Structure 1
Amino acid sequence: MATGVQRATQLTIADLKGRVDPDWCPGCGDFGVLAAIQKALVELQIPNHNVVAISGIGCSSNLPGFINTYGMHTLHGRALAVATGLKLANHELTVLVTGGDGDGFGIGGNHFIHTMRRNVDLLYIAMDNQIYGLTTGQTSPTSRIGMKTKSMPFGNIEAPVNPISLALAAGATFVARGFSGDQKHLTDLIKQGIEHKGFSFLDVFSPCVTYNHDNTYQWYRPRIKKLEDDPAYDATDWTAAIEKSLLWGDEIPIGKFFERTDVPSLHASEPVLNEGPLLHRDARVPAEITRGFIEELM
């Protein structure tokens, strides 16, 4: 829970430091994601009492405890469902959802698809390390074919999920990919995702230094190519975004794949919410309605 948040002064990184230090392994990519989120909130000057960080279960899902905003650590794979309810209750809040590839694309895959389809106005940051880290190194939905893990010691035989392609196909209105080893670029993507009016999906390569010795910082650096460096790339072209999302190997694109701004968010499409957040509404049912309901049941 946010502490000392009603501030009249400018927000700083120190204001966003949580009371609990991260318990991640030294060198974990999630440190970079946490730092980028804090920098983005400071650069946008969003008061931390207006921010809620929600997570599921996993190493990355511990993040709400490490940042001084309001937060909620929910059930495995259910963070987006909880975040949807929160946003509908008070759409004036900035809602950030964090989790891993197992939490989001495995047990949480159903919520992932339907939250995108509904265009809920939030930013979902998936810290993608291609492994289940909290449970000590099992194959995850994004593990490549042939990758040897504790659960598949002879190599993974299942095709991996492509989070970017899936997000584009499901109707996400903002789709991007970052790398926790590039703070400046990742911070910019987080800022764009927060400012986007609708569902923003940010897949982040966040290396697991303990259990994934294939997809390391050193492995990514020569391969990642920023879409922003290609002057011909148009992030409003859905077909071009799909084509880029399929690239993997010697060239792996990062950056903003796609954005459209002509689709209203879920709360903007609901007439009741146009009158203001539910949080500020009188929840009491008028007596005449209650009496009428009881009479119908008699």
Structure 2
Amino acid sequence: MNDMTPIQTTLKDWETDQEVRWCPGCGDYAILKAVQRTLPVIGAHPANTVFVSGIGCSSRFPYYVESYGFHTIHGRAPAFATGIKLANPDLDVWIVTGDGDGMSIGGNHTMHVLRRNLDCQILLFNNEIYGLTKGQYSPTSRPGTTSPTTPLGSYDRPASPCAFALGSGARFIARAFDVSKELSNTLIAAHAHKGAAFVEIFQNCIVYNKDRFDDFTTKGTDDKQLWCKHGEPLLFGNAKTGSIKGLALDLDTLSLKVVDVIDGDWQAAGVAVHNVRNRGMAHMLVEMPFGPFPMALGVIYDDPAPTFEGSVALERQQATAGKTADLGKLLSKGQTWTVEPEAAHGLMD
């Protein structure tokens, strides 16, 4: 077993000597710094930390974090991470993937690591495009997206990573965006969760899908952001102008609706209080159409359950209790026979 005692590190301790090679202005730079700032806060140890990635721009991540890392094959990072965690449950495993890597060729692997509830952090960078392979549309691209593979505009209905994760049985769902001041806090919450923690991070692809998320990520769009915090009312809007709104539950349609909050009295307006253990509320929050509704961010769902590696370890313990390992006995068990040297010689004649 490894010593998982938290240690004191700084951001510099998590930087490598590798040249960071993303396009200038790429949102991945901001995410990398947020992760490197977060690791010292959670007391992470480089010798016990593993970053696993698949294929894509986001998948260069392991080269840039001073820890153990695996740059694996397209969409299969969850499979490698599962093997790593089962081999050494004490390791702190992070999966870094993208909307193409994790939601297309790796969709089934993402689903299974979530439903099994492997104790790991899954960071899905969503830029709604295939960046590394030069701008093709991805599973999360919006209708009308023009690209080399959709020159007249995409007509596919985009996948929602958080809705997919919830449908796969995920026990922790969160959202943030690359340059958000809250990204580090969201990562801290994900790490504190025991089990598979799924974090969708909206990431600006400066070359092939520039400014796609400007309508809720840039300065002056705070009124379009709903940062979900457990036990607090679901409020958003502009406090300076007094234009505060909230989300209330419409019992007639069993859906959310936007209500005005007058004089700060959110209770009179019927604004709902966020409960991270309410799975139904989580589904409504991640599926809200942006525009009429704000973008739900922060920790949306957090309801721990037994982990996969914990269940495997318990099964092994129960299967071996009171038994002595004997390889020879195992090999000779069942229908076996011995071929004497003389008989073997006769067979060869």
| Structure-2-length-normalised TM-score | 0.76
Amino acid at match of 1:234: N
2:182 counterpart SS class: helix
In structure 1, how many angstroms separate the alpha carbons of the residues matched to 2:56 and 2:287? 27
Q: How does 1:186-201 map to 2 (within 5 A)?
A: 186-201=183-198
1:246-291 Cα shifts (integer Å, max 9, x gaps): 1232221111110102x1000111245775xxxxxxxx96222223
Give the gaps of 5 or more residues in structure 1: 1-6, 276-283
In structure 2, how many angstroms separate the alpha carbons of the residues matched to 1:58 and 1:293? 49
Amino acid at match of 1:85: G
Are residue 128 (structure 1) and residue 126 (structure 2) matched?
yes
Contact 1:208–1:216 (Cα < 8 Å) also in 2? no
2:296 counterpart SS class: strand
Alpha carbons of 1:285 and 1:196: their partners in 2 closer, same or farther (altered >3 Å)? farther
The CA deviation at 1:149 is: 1.2
- Name the counterpart of 1:4: none
- Name the counterpart of 1:238: 279
Question: What is the aligned length?
Answer: 283
- Name the counterpart of 2:202: 205
Alpha carbons of 1:230 and 1:181: their partners in 2 closer, same or farther (altered >3 Å)? farther
In structure 2, how many angstroms separate the alpha carbons of the residues matched to 1:147 and 1:297? 69
Alpha carbons of 1:265 and 1:153: their partners in 2 closer, same or farther (altered >3 Å)? same
Contact 1:52–1:93 (Cα < 8 Å) also in 2? yes
Contact 2:216–2:295 (Cα < 8 Å) also in 1? no
Per mean C-alpha deviation after superposition, the further-off stretch among 217-226 and 165-174 is: 217-226
State the structure with more CA Rg: 2
Contact 2:204–2:211 (Cα < 8 Å) also in 1? no
The CA deviation at 1:21 is: 2.0
Q: How does 1:118-267 map to 2 (within 5 A)?
A: 118-182=116-180, 184-217=181-214, 220-221=217-218, 222=221, 223-228=224-229, 230=233, 232-250=273-291, 251-261=294-304, 263-267=305-309
1:239 counterpart SS class: helix
Amino acid at match of 1:225: L
Amino acid at match of 1:236: R
- Name the counterpart of 2:96: 98
- Name the counterpart of 1:72: 70
Identity over aligned residues, as a percent?
35
Deviating above 6 A after TM superposition, structure 1's stretches of 4 or more consecutive aligned residues are none
Per mean C-alpha deviation after superposition, the further-off stretch among 219-228 and 18-27 is: 219-228
| Structure-1-length-normalised TM-score | 0.89
